[in-house]
Amino acid sequence: AQKVTQAQTEISVVEKEDVTLDCVYETRDTTYYLFWYKQPPSGELVFLIRRNSFDEQNEISGRYSWNFQKSTSSFNFTITASQVVDSAVYFCALSDYMEYGNKLVFGAGTILRVKS
Amino acid sequence: DAMVIQNPRYQVTQFGKPVTLSCSQTLNHNVMYWYQQKSSQAPKLLFHYYDKDFNNEADTPDNFQSRRPNTSFCFLDIRSPGLGDAAMYLCATSRESAERGSTDTQYFGPGTRLTVL
């Protein structure tokens, strides 16, 4: 069965610090997808990134970067020079195939608090 | 802008009084999902539709039903809400996965926060 572990329940940083959110996953599938979503206090889940299992290149988008390492089953997320607006709950998720569509198996989430 | 819309954003109902939550989308996606997210927990899939084909998760209580009258709209009906059903309900959409291993991104609406008194 698919499983996602986000061991960090809560992280607090001061603005402009870099912060890394950890994600470790378990799957028996050879083809799978990993996602990160941001959930601000308003409640909406905001899509950040999708990565398939065959693409191990790291990705950078502005202050956000992702490190995918298949050898350790990890898909970590780093925010550089954090800002107060980055405060949110961040979920890592793993796709679980269904006949049509896909089920997302979420980790428990990491609460990020960025203080000014 | 193409998007997923949920109404209402906040819903208060009484114990045992049926309630309906709605979701609409302008993305023209084939698949629509309903997730339940209880306080400080991860979202949990209740069921999903591929077009009009309904797919229930094995552990979704019978108290939860859904309707999808057309591609754009999907409803979540809670027949007899209990205190344990208080949660955020999230609707999401994605394109069809044409083959195993092909997975599109799910786009979520803002959610409806349900309070049961």
pLDDT tens column, B15-57: 999 999 999 999 999 899 999 999 999 999 999 998 888 999 9
Which residues of A are less than 8 Å from B50 in CB distance? Answer: 99-101
Q: What is the radius of gyration, based on Cα positions, of chain A?
A: 14
Within a 10 A sphere around the Cβ of B109, how many other Cβ atoms? Answer: 23
Range from A9-23, A39-53, B87-101 carrying the lowest mean pLDDT: B87-101
Q: What is the 3-state secondary structure (H, E, C) of B74-111?
A: EEEEECCCCHHHCEEEEEEEECCCCCCCCCCCCEECCC
Per-residue pLDDT, averaged over B83-90, amounts to: 96
From the list A33, A47, A52, the residue facing B107 with the nearest CB is A47
Token digits of residue B80: 């007899």
Write the CB contacts of B31 (distance below 8 Å, at least 6 apart in sequence).
Answer: A100, A101, B48, B49, B50, B93, B94, B95, B96, B97
Range from A2-11, B18-27, B48-57, B65-74 carrying the lowest mean pLDDT: B48-57
Which residues of B are less than 8 Å from A44 in CB distance? Answer: 108-111
pLDDT band for A56, please (50, 70, 90 cuts): confident
Please tell me the distance in Å from B14's CA to the nearest CA on chain A: 23
Please tell me the distance in Å from B112's CA to the nearest CA on chain A: 9
From the list A32, A100, A103, the residue facing B45 with the nearest CB is A103
Biggest CA pair distance of chain B: 44
Per-residue pLDDT, averaged over A37-57, amounts to: 91
For CA atoms B60, B63, B68, B74, give the dihedral sign: negative
